[in-house]
Amino acid sequence: MDSGGSGLRVVVGTAERGPLAHRASAGPVRTGDRGIDPGHFMAQLVPLVRALTAEAGPVRLTAAAVGAAGLASLGDALRAELPDALAREFGVRRVALAADAVTAYVGALGSRPGAVIAGGTGLIAIGTDLTGWRRADGWGHLLGDCGGGAWIGRAGLEAALRAHDGREGGSARLLACAEDAFGPVAGLPGALYPRPDRPAVLASFAPRVAACADRDPVAAGILRAAARHMADSAAAVCPAEGEPRVTVTGGLFRMGDPLLVPLDEELTERLPQARRVPAEGDPLHGSVRMAAELCAGPLTLPGGDDTMLYVTTLSGD
């Protein structure tokens, strides 16, 4: 399972045959006073799994791996209740609950030392030397996520408003893009601030910034600053010894060369000992890898931090 801001994605399969069926929910799992809501998680999950097991044929569910956005800081209720709920509903006895950064890492690099920059609406870097996990950023759009989609979009809109006001650092191109996307920018604060999906709205402007970068030095400077933030986070978590692998994963990097070229340059400067490699898969692929490994025995990933990776085996396995 992969639970994120766009919804819940679920795969059912076997260790021998691999993934057999895949479905996704229409909306994300709710977050409330107790953090990630385990009741809403199960309400989303049960019909998906019932449909998937019908599609996949006779499959006995014995292990589950869940990658969840916000697990590190909002996952107490999920860790307390989800393993028992999965056992009652599906007979699952071995469960791994992981921060989505962990499943992003496993999907991208497997069980090898290195660092992964996971970028979408937000931004987090995670690294391991296979003895423990290190993370940098991932603090949300108000406190961090520096270089992520919401950060880039907000910086682009700030440049648009600077141009509207006649202040230095503004961009007439970004102002035109902002008005095309949102209407007159004078009304942007009133339209944006009350929205519960404000990070996603900000991130929706990031591709516009990338589209202007080849002919607008302000837009190019925003993407260069984003790349610098990403490289800072990667350098904070990457193992210092050996030849660690470094890669990126997430929808943010579909912006292509306007972001990837400066990021390559910044990573080369900050992490000359690291080897850049393409990501092997996405966070859902990481969850599938972890579930398959759980079927065979203990995970080879580092433990010791339940906020990042919590593994439980219930009696009756």
Query: Are 98 and 290 within 8 A, CB to CB?
Result: yes
Least confident of 22-26, 166-170, 204-208, 313-317: 313-317
Percent of the chain residues topping a pLDDT of 70: 98
Across 138-153, average pLDDT: 91
The larger pLDDT score, comparing residue 304 to residue 133, is at: 133
* % of the chain exceeding 90 in pLDDT: 65
* Spatial separation of the C-alpha atoms in residues 45 and 34, rounded to whole Å: 19
CA distance 304 to 281: 25
- CA distances to 108, 120, 293 from 96, rounded to whole Å, are 18, 23, 10
The pLDDT score that the predictor gives to residue 71 is: 86
Strand blocks (E) in the chain: 2-4, 7-14, 18-24, 31-32, 35-36, 63-68, 94-99, 114-119, 123-128, 133-137, 245-249, 275-276, 309-313
Question: What's residue 316's pLDDT?
Answer: 56
pLDDT digits (tens, 9 = 90+) for 185-206: 999 998 888 887 788 889 999 9
Mean pLDDT (the chain) is 91
What integer pLDDT is reported at residue 317 of this predicted model? 45
| Token pair for 294 | 């759980």
Instruction: Read off the pLDDT of residues 42-70 as tens digits, 9 standing for 90 and up.
Output: 999 999 999 999 998 888 899 999 999 88
Read off the pLDDT of residues 114-137 as tens digits, 9 standing for 90 and up: 999 999 888 999 999 988 889 999
What is the predicted pLDDT for the residue at 257?
95
What confidence category does residue 304 fall into, taking pLDDT thresholds of 50, 70 and 90? confident
Judged against a pLDDT cut of 90, whether residue 296 lies above it is answered with no
pLDDT tens-digit map of 275-295: 999 999 989 999 999 999 998
Quote the DSSP letter at residue 241: S
- Buried/exposed code over 220-254 (b: 16+ C-beta within 10 A; e: otherwise): bbbbbbbbbbbbbbbbebbbeeeebbbbbbbebbe
The predicted pLDDT at position 77 comes to 92
